[in-house]
Amino acid sequence: AFYGDSFIDINDKVVPIDERGHQFGDGVYEYVKVYNGTPFLLDEHLERLEKSALNILLQLPYSRQEIKDFIQEGLRRSGLQNSDIYIQVTRGISPRNHLFPTNVPAQFAMTIRSGKVVPNEQRKQGISVMILEDERWANCFIKSLNLLPNLLAKQKAFEHGHGEAILSRDGYITEGSSSNVFAVKDGVLYTTPATNRILHGITRAAVIECASKLNIPFKEYDMSEDFLRHADEVFITSTSVEVLPVSKVESITLPDERPITTALAQAYSELYATNEAHA
């Protein structure tokens, strides 16, 4: 792991009491997957980190190249080929006060852990999802540390036997608690428009590109809850789950055949299998 300006043991207790990250959630983060030793779509993730930081008026303490160098060094130290990188930047360490501290550097933190893999069985079967009210703020395009509404929704869905919570605002699907949502109806691929209501997922963008290459008709569209329930196919995307089929929306079982989901999952896995080409 890395905290502030140096590499540390991941179990070290290093975060000061007055770190604004844990007192206020005053920071932003990224989550990057490493395939075959190379971080996948790293520039896209770092660009989003820069955008998130800018939108909370936070100045990143390191340049993009410096962050890339820390990542390379961290990967070398970890010895891992397939791993998950978590990066967070907070507004630093200063006695608790809602006002921004002055002349306090932002704090950079990173962990690198063995890559989490969705079990094959689950990938084949698909997960079931529960639609819940989106109780988040107006700027969900910022990857902010404030994830309480996401956690509460995910936990509730889990306690009802579902694998993901799909959030809905004013009757329209926004996204998952930690994923973007796609649906297929009559051969057309749909996903929620990339507005302030959702995180502009890196996987979402990669999947849209795959769809274009495969000549799958695609539309950004505000999907109603019933649109999702009556879709031919539904899947979620994220850096960690990649393209994951949804088999059930609450009590409604979706069709077993998922040709478009399967094609897109395949195309996405080919993208990261040839990861080096993008490095």
CB nearer to ligand PLP: give 168 or 238.
238
Count Cβ neighbours within 10 Å for each residue of 127-139 and write b for 16 or more, e otherwise. Answer: bbbbbbebebeee
Q: Does 175 bind ligand PLP (CB under 6 A)?
A: yes
248 given a catalytic annotation: no
User: Smallest gap, in angstroms, from Cβ of residue 238 to ligand PLP?
Assistant: 4
Is residue 233 close enough to count as binding ligand PLP by CB under 6 A?
no
Binding span for ligand PLP by CB under 6 A among 114-122, 152-160, 175-183, 270-278: 175-183
Residues 52-91: x/- map of binding to ligand PLP (CB under 6 A)? ----------------------------------------
| Interaction between residue 179 and ligand PLP (CB under 6 A) | yes
Cα(1)–Cα(85) distance, integer angstroms: 10
Judged by beta carbon, residue 109 or residue 199, the one nearer ligand PLP is 199
* Cβ distance to ligand PLP smaller for residue 73 or 270: 270
Nearer to ligand PLP, 197 or 248 (CB): 197
| Nearest distance, CB of residue 156 and ligand PLP, angstroms | 15
Q: Which residue has the tokens 């997957």?
A: 33
**Strand 242-249 with 252-253, pairing:** antiparallel
Catalytic residue among 13, 51, 124, 143: 143
Site for ligand PLP in 191-220 (CB under 6 A): 199, 201-204
Q: Which of 107, 191, 192, 239 binds ligand PLP (CB under 6 A)?
A: 239
Residues that are catalytic: 143
The binding site for ligand PLP (CB under 6 A) comprises: 31, 150, 175, 178-180, 199, 201-204, 237-239
